[in-house]
Structure 1
Amino acid sequence: MILGPKLSKKFVEIMDDTQVQQCGIDLRVGSIYRIEGEGVLDYSNEKRKLPSYRKIFSSENDIKISLDRGIYLIKVADKIKIPEDMAALVYPRSSLLRMGCTLYTAVHDPGYEGYPEYLLNVMNPITIYRYARVAQILFIRSSGVVGTYSGIYQKR
């Protein structure tokens, strides 16, 4: 079951009610990074290595950025906190899709807390302004507590 926006507001530190939508909460751009270098994945995460990231935009300091085609990492400006009996799914806003861009996201596990990061695929040049709303987060209740997130991205 998708929780409505009245309950969802409790789990996202929002700027104002402009972010509140019918099924969830809009997430805003905090910063944008260019991905540089190679990443490494393995089964146990013993060899995991994230690539380097170079910040090219910050909503705290910059007004706008024009992005050419390419892949970027976006860190959202809104802190989220997933309750232990819920998970969250994030989708790109339809306006972003209509401009020829999309986000690649992941499931947010119960107990995750932080400022999530998503992959932005720019297939058509776009200008993004400070705190632009690019994604919507939906909270879903699980049928029971299944454990909580304790990975390396907690509180980041």
Structure 2
Amino acid sequence: MLLSKKEILEKIKEGMLVLNMIDPAVQIQQAGVDLTVGRIYTLKGEGALDFDNSKRKIPEYEVIEPANEKWVLEPGTYHAAMNETIKLPDNIAGLLLPRSSALTCGLEVHSALWDPGYEGRSFMHFSLKKKIELHKNARICQMIFFLLENTEEYRGSYTGEDIFKNMKRG
């Protein structure tokens, strides 16, 4: 079941779902919560993936500093650290989707399922078809939440994730 605004508000009052919002009255929508851009990165290193994560290598990223509180980005792929922190209880999963206004501007959001029990900083990837002016704290994506039955809490390697540990200032 997809959570409604009423259910999202109840969970947020309990200290769950999305923490550190800039303005909950603006960010909480009818069926999700808008997330805001805090930092932008480019991929600088190589990564590796395998079946059991024994050979997994997380690549290095380089921060792109905003000029006058905005980024002017050329077409390509970027990574964004959102201002908000995600805290999912053990019976709710999250999915990150683009806002329609972002799609209209040629910004495509790429994300994965956020497992029940996940807690950490929000980080997403996006691609641009055309040059864009992206202002700091822009709302570019929305997280929606699904209530699940009979689930186990997430205990993977991204629990308590600190997305900034592999980031280097440019």
Which bin holds the TM-score, normalised by the shorter protein? Answer: over 0.9
Give the total of aligned pairs.
Answer: 153
2:32 to 4, 24, 34: 24
Q: What is the CA distance between 1:57 and its match in structure 2?
A: 3.4
In the aligned structure 2, how far is the partner of 1:119 from the partner of 1:78?
Answer: 15
Match of 2:7 in 1: 7
Q: What is the CA distance between 1:62 and its match in structure 2?
A: 6.0
Q: Structure 1: any 5+ residue segments left out of the alignment?
A: none
Alignment pair present for 1:47 and 2:55? yes
Map 1:134-153 to 2 at 5 A: 134-144=140-150, 146-153=151-158
1:82 to 84, 88, 101: 88
In the aligned structure 1, how far is the partner of 2:22 from the partner of 2:45?
Answer: 34
**Structure 1, residues 3-56: CA drift from partner, whole Å, max 9, x if none?**
112332412122211101111110111111010121100001000001110011
Match of 1:33 in 2: 41
- Aligned CA distance change for structure 1 residues 41 and 98 (closer, same or farther; 3 Å): same
Task: Read off the aligned partner of 1:18 and give its amino acid letter.
Answer: V
Match of 2:102 in 1: 96
Q: What is the CA distance between 1:151 and its match in structure 2?
A: 2.0
Out of 80-89 and 61-70, give the one that drifted further.
61-70
In the aligned structure 2, how far is the partner of 1:116 from the partner of 1:153?
Answer: 11
- Aligned CA distance change for structure 1 residues 131 and 38 (closer, same or farther; 3 Å): same
- Aligned CA distance change for structure 1 residues 31 and 62 (closer, same or farther; 3 Å): farther
Give yes or no for contact 1:38–1:51 (8 Å, CA) kept in 2: yes
In the aligned structure 1, how far is the partner of 2:121 from the partner of 2:38?
Answer: 9
Give yes or no for contact 1:62–1:130 (8 Å, CA) kept in 2: no
- Aligned CA distance change for structure 1 residues 57 and 153 (closer, same or farther; 3 Å): farther
Q: What is the CA distance between 1:95 and its match in structure 2?
A: 0.6
The alignment yields a C-alpha RMSD, in angstroms, of 1.5
Fraction of identical pairs, as percent: 37
Task: Read off the aligned partner of 1:137 and give its amino acid letter.
Answer: M
Task: Read off the aligned partner of 2:56 and give its amino acid letter.
Answer: R
Q: TM-score, normalised by structure 2?
A: 0.85
Q: Structure 2: any 5+ residue segments left out of the alignment?
A: 163-170
**Structure 1, residues 49-91: CA drift from partner, whole Å, max 9, x if none?**
0111001136xx9610100011111111111101111101110
In the aligned structure 2, how far is the partner of 1:57 from the partner of 1:25?
Answer: 26
